[in-house]
């Protein structure tokens, strides 16, 4: 069985969706570790309630990113982690983790990348006046939301929608799409895409 680490900073709704998909045997994996930079976050409570090992930390207690990522790396190796799943983890991943886990860290982002990377993607979409946005699952590289795309789903912005309306629909899509992509990855059935089509099969 594939060991997964979930990194999260907030409520952990995508953690819930993945854990429930695993419970239903839709994803052939085990969440062996949850990592959070917010020790008081809801996701920490949820992981502990499920009996999952948690590594939580305060970044300010370390000299820099490399310091806490070295601790995370040790925990990932201890738990034989094969894939890192970012689920609302609000920190850019540095080379301490990117190098040993190259091509094995994934993220979900609330836009159709490469449009609207970074924070407040829904707000960016509203400001730009677009009628379609969506959700992207991608591999993580050293940039901000720049890694190869694994899958995307489009969502229409309807007349009269608020940002909260769109965010709610995006989360509904995320909770289906993310477990689907993780399930394909652990089976070796995922593909990355660029503007020209398929670039690599996992």
DSSP state of 163: H
Helices H / strands E in the chain, number of each: 6, 9
Choose, from 109, 138, 175, 193, the residue flagged as catalytic. 109
Cβ(69)–Cβ(84) below 8 Å: no
Coil, helix or strand at residue 176: helix
109 is catalytic: yes
**Placement of tokens 């924070």 in the chain:** 119
Distance CA 10, CA 21 (A): 20
**Placement of tokens 């909260």 in the chain:** 164
Coil, helix or strand at residue 40: coil
| Cβ neighbours of 196 (radius 10 Å) | 6
What is the sign of the dihedral through the CA atoms of 71, 77, 81 and 84? positive
**Placement of tokens 């990113």 in the chain:** 65
As given in the structure block, the two tokens for residue 184 are: 């394909």
Residues annotated as catalytic are: 109
């Amino acid at each position: 069985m594939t060991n997964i680490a979930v990194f999260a900073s907030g409520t952990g709704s995508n953690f819930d969706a993945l854990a429930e998909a695993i419970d239903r045997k839709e994803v052939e994996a085990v969440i062996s570790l949850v990592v959070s930079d917010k020790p008081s976050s809801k996701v920490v409570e949820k992981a502990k309630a499920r009996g999952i090992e948690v590594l939580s930390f305060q970044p300010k207690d370390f000299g820099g990113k490399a310091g806490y990522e070295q601790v995370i790396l040790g925990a990932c190796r201890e738990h034989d982690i094969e894939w890192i799943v970012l689920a609302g983890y609000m920190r850019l991943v540095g080379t301490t983790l990117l190098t040993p886990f190259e091509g094995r860290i994934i993220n979900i982002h609330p836009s159709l990348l490469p449009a609207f990377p970074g924070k407040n993607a829904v707000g960016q979409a509203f400001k730009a006046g677009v009628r379609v946005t969506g959700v992207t699952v991608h591999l993580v590289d050293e940039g901000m939301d720049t890694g190869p795309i694994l899958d995307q789903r489009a969502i229409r912005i309807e007349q009269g929608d608020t940002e909260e309306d769109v965010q709610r629909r995006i989360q509904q899509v995320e909770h289906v799409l993310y477990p689907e992509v993780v399930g394909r990855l652990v089976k070796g059935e995922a593909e990355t895409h660029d503007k020209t089509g398929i670039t690599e099969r996992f």
